[in-house]
Amino acid sequence: MANGWSIIIGFVVIVLASVAGWFLSPKGETQTHYIPRTMAPTYRTPTKWLEDRGGARELRTRYLQYREESK
């Protein structure tokens, strides 16, 4: 059975990896925004959907008109 030291060592390893990742990641003008290829189709879907329908304001206006007509 694991003793208390394994939990402490695991926590220290996680903290060191997190700190190293923060210091080694690009910041400022050299920072890049990377979207994994598997998420790319879902990333722009809500924005594209709104753009195709005239934007959020137009969509809300149509919804409010629909509500008024259905009363």
Write out the chain in H/E/C secondary structure.
CCCHHHHHHHHHHHHHHHHHHHHHCCCHHHCCCCCCCCCHHHHCHHHHHHHHCCCHHHHHHHHHHHHHHCC
Residue 2 in this model has a pLDDT that exceeds 80 = no
Q: Does the pTM of the predicted model rise above 0.85?
A: no
Q: What is the reported pLDDT for 66?
A: 83
Q: Tokens standing for 9?
A: 């060592």
Taking only the tens place, the pLDDT of each residue in 20-29 is 998 988 887 7
